C-alpha cells in the first residue's frame, strides 16, 4: 500500500476537465435508470454454486483415476500413440469410482 502512496498523491494534484457541457442535451432528456433492489442480487451471490457442491466428488474421482496405475504415452509415433490412448481410455473407463 505504501508503494502506491506517491501515485495517489500525484493523482490528487491532477487537473480534471470541467464536467459542465460534457453531457449532450439528448442524454440529459433521458429518464433516470430504474434501480434494482440489492437484496436479491446479494442473496444470489451468497448461494452455493453447483460447481462448488460437486468439487469434493470430482476431486475424489480425479484422485481415484490418478491412482489407477495407467501409464502415460511414451512414443512419438502418432498411430502408436493413438492405439495406446484408446487402450488407456478403455482401462480408465473400467476403473470403479
Average the pLDDT over each of 7-11, 54-58, 83-87 and give the range with the smallest value: 7-11
Band of residue 30 on the pLDDT scale cut at 50, 70, 90: very high
Residue partners of 60: CB distance under 8 A and separation at least 6: 97
Q: Measured between alpha carbons, how far is 70 from 97 in angstroms, rounded to an integer?
A: 15
Q: How far is CA 79 from CA 72, 73, 76, 83, 86, in A?
A: 15, 12, 9, 6, 11
Report phi then psi at 52, rounded to 5. Answer: -65, -35
pTM for the predicted model, two decimal places: 0.30
Q: Where are the domains of the chain?
A: 38-66+77-97
Could you tell me the three cell numbers for 3? 508503494
pLDDT tens figures, 59-92: 888 888 888 776 665 667 888 888 888 999 999 9
Amino acid at each position: 500500500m505504501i508503494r502506491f502512496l506517491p501515485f495517489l498523491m500525484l493523482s490528487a494534484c491532477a487537473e480534471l476537465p470541467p464536467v459542465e457541457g460534457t453531457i449532450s442535451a439528448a442524454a440529459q432528456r433521458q429518464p433516470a435508470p430504474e434501480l434494482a433492489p440489492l437484496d436479491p442480487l446479494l442473496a444470489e451471490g451468497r448461494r452455493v454454486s453447483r460447481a462448488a457442491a460437486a468439487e469434493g466428488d470430482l476431486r475424489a474421482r480425479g484422485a481415484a483415476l490418478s491412482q489407477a496405475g495407467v501409464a502415460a504415452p511414451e512414443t512419438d509415433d502418432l498411430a502408436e500413440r493413438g492405439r495406446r490412448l484408446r487402450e488407456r481410455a478403455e482401462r480408465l473407463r473400467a476403473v470403479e469410482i
